[in-house]
Amino acid sequence: MKKAMLIFLAAAMLLPLVCCAKPQKTPTETDIPTDAATDSAAASEPPAPTYPDAVPELDFDGAAFRILEQDTAFESSLSIYVEESVGEQLNDAIYDRNHTIEERFRITIPAPVRDTMDNIYTITQNAVRSGDDVYDLVLHAMTSTLTDIANGVVSDWLTVPYIDVSNPWYTDGLEDCIIADKLLFLTGDLSLSYTGATYCLAFNRTKAADYNINEDFYQLVRDGKWTLDRLLSVCVDLYNDVNGSGSRDAGDFYGYFDSGMVNGFVYAADMRTAVLEEDLTVRFDMLSEPNIDLYDKLALLMKMGAGATNTKNAFTEGCALFTSISASALTSDKMVDMSDDFGVLPLPKWNEDQKAYYTNVNNFSALVLMLLKTAARLELIGAVVEAMSALSYRDVLPVYCNSVLELRASRDPESSEMLRLIMNSRVMDFETLYGGGDGWTNRQSHFVERTGAMVSYVTSRLEKFRLIYEDLLNMILDADT
């Protein structure tokens, strides 16, 4: 097996980083043939159901589709399964999706086995070591992918029939995560936890009016002018010593309060830390000129909330104009009960020349789809995962945005518009999917501790991380799937 070699572009790192967005995906459409000669009896029958996927009609004779799902305490823990229809929109959309799949393929979808992230490591290892085909689908935290690969339990999704990652129900960029003709994890709309982990911004509309901030942020987004510099210009001098203590502390008002989403801003700027090249080499881009500038600006942004020590409640208590937040956290009780009105925005672009808005997800709370080596019923698995993903895209995701986010969380129609834009702007890449907890992604809080911190942190650890990524690539290349 050819071993992966990593390229360090010490000089080339100073060149501008260019990332090209992929063309917009379009769903597969199923046309229903019509017949003008259909008799009146047939015409009175209800039309045959239509599906957005291209999976053929199959009959699995009552087979049970067995799921192992991580039971996470994060706010974006949104299950693939509900027990029954209860009259609540999102619950019932999930129930109807699963029931449709059951009827379409003549299967059953029993309640998943749920356990913690660490216990799932043990469960999957025991299953593979004993050769037991016990689960058709595993949902595990994205931050666990590197360990799952090292444990030797994962199989290749590209060996599964009907799975087509070019479809819009999979995350844009997932095709670029295919390494040596293998794709070891799937991300997309079937995992609502992945949707809930999406990064965005919330802003306090009441405080914006109180402080005479007259920017129309929504129009800036529509005009393509919502940039990091514009965000900084609003926040940089915005501070009020509300409690009169003479120091920046809890209870004062700040322009921005960060909740640990540095990585989201990097993807929003269409920049990267580790880039997988076509020849299976990895380029580290943090020391390129645009990235250095980006991290210095982010360091300035993060410092604006220094002193707001109540990390969980600073925004909901009206102590900050902006905060970074995950989509699911918008529906938390504290946000819903917040006395001030708030709005939702995408993370800002790097500059106005950037052609689109982008965002990423929290890899601790986003669950990815994993196929175990011992999974044998590949036709069943492919048909169900592809069809359920398609129905999630068509039927469940809109309900999530409309009923959960729009009605419970956002208090203005513009935020509803922004939420749809945010969900359509999620991207995936090699670093996010495979970097786990050991790559650059989860080190970026160190990059913004002060201006210039990123350069000193990265340059002192280049060799260490070169070996980490070399080992990661070799594990993927050598994976016996």
Between CA 69 and CA 269 the distance in angstroms is 33
In single-letter form, the type of residue at position 295 comes to: Y
Per-residue b/e over 201-238, b at no fewer than 16 CB within 10 Å? Answer: bbbbbebbeeeebeeebbebbeeeebbbebbbebbeeb
Q: H helices within 44-186, ranges in order?
A: 89-105, 117-130, 145-150
Residue 218 domain flag: yes
pLDDT of residue 303: 84
324 and 457 assigned to the same domain: yes
326 and 377 assigned to the same domain: no
Q: Could you list the residue range(s) of the whole structural domain that residue 150 is in?
A: 51-196+363-409
372 and 474 assigned to the same domain: no
209 and 334 assigned to the same domain: yes
Residue 6 domain flag: no
DSSP state of 64: E
pLDDT of residue 365: 87
First to last CA, the chain: 14
pLDDT of residue 307: 58
240 and 378 assigned to the same domain: no
pLDDT of residue 23: 39
Between CA 373 and CA 481 the distance in angstroms is 6
pLDDT of residue 356: 97
155 and 273 assigned to the same domain: no
pTM of the model: 0.86
316 Cβ contact partners less than 8 Å away, ≥ 6 residues apart: 334, 335, 337, 338
Residue 246 domain flag: yes
Residue 400 domain flag: yes
Number of independent structural domains in the chain: 2
73 and 91 assigned to the same domain: yes
Residue 415 domain flag: no
Residue 82 domain flag: yes
325 and 464 assigned to the same domain: yes
Mean pLDDT by groups of 10 residues along the chain of 481 residues: 38 33 40 34 64 96 97 64 91 96 98 95 97 97 92 96 96 92 95 92 95 96 98 93 88 86 94 91 92 95 71 84 90 85 95 97 92 98 98 92 61 82 93 84 89 94 92 87 73
C-alpha distances in Å from residue 103, one per residue of 62, 79, 107, 380, 464:
10, 20, 7, 14, 52
343 and 473 assigned to the same domain: yes
232 and 186 assigned to the same domain: no
210 and 317 assigned to the same domain: yes
Residue 22 domain flag: no
Work out whether the CA dihedral 437, 438, 440, 442 comes out positive or negative. Answer: positive
CATH number of the domain that 56 lies in? 3.40.190.10
pLDDT of residue 24: 45
Q: Tokens for 391, please give them.
A: 């129905």
pLDDT of residue 300: 92
333 and 375 assigned to the same domain: no
